[in-house]
Amino acid sequence: MDFITGEIIGIDKPLGWTSFDAVKRIRGGIQRRLGVKKFKVGHAGTLDPLATGVLIICTGRATRQITELQEGTKEYVAELKLGATTPSFDLETEIDATFPYEHITEDLILETLPRFTGKVMQVPPVFSAVKVDGKRAYSYARKGREVELKAKPLEISELELLSYEAPKLTLRVVCSKGTYIRALARDIGEALGSGAHLTGLRRTRVGDIKVDECLSIDRALDVIANAPLTFPES
């Protein structure tokens, strides 16, 4: 492996890990392999700690491709719970309100989902990294301060109902960069005349890199530790 010229490594990020946690572990493995104290490693597209799946990690000069890789289409499998909302729109925070959901049928869901496909405007979650006056929105939200976020344009090219067993709803989402699946859960809940929050999220594809092709953290570290090394010509 030529870590200096650059490698692009697909990682299946574990539940509970931040994207930085994964980068740190991979960087540490490369530093030990090369016998250096510093080495450039980055990721193309943050994945929340409560989500699993595809995280693209770039090494050396391949970090120059991060911006391009981030533009790739994303695919997710999302689990929603109807009838309840949380401030963060997922399990990071406790339920703050409950709503009836008995009126929601599979037919109603199928009638509603097309409203969220194509080019749409989405208001990001307040518990997000969106910057407001130079600070991350979540820094205000965690202090209980209200912030007003503007809707942003994005594109959802596919939105497929995989299963519905009330109050659990599972969707496949294919979308552009910048889409918050947590916010999509909020909006779908409201459109169904109820509330909803995200209870599970797995990113199954970024661009051409599929989760089935990705390595676990342990497997990636094993490959790094044992693969033959090559170095760029000086």
187 catalytic residue (yes or no): no
Collect all residues with Cβ–Cβ distance below 8 Å to 8 and sequence separation of at least 6.
56, 57, 58, 59, 62, 65, 69
CB 25 within 8 A of CB 221: yes
Spatial separation of the C-alpha atoms in residues 211 and 53, rounded to whole Å: 6
Report d(CA 13, CA 97) in Å as an integer: 31
Query: Cα angle vertex 34, ends 210, 70, to 5°?
Result: 30
Nearest partner of 161 among 120, 218, 111, judged by Cα: 111
Helices (H), 77-216: 106-112, 137-141, 181-191
Catalytic residue among 2, 12, 48, 212: 48
For residue 120, what are the β-bridge partners?
Answer: 154
Question: Using an 8 Å Cβ cutoff, are 164 and 77 in contact?
Answer: no
Taken in order 15, 18, 23, 29, the sign of the CA dihedral is negative
d(CA 61, CA 230): 14
Q: Which residues are part of the catalytic machinery?
A: 48
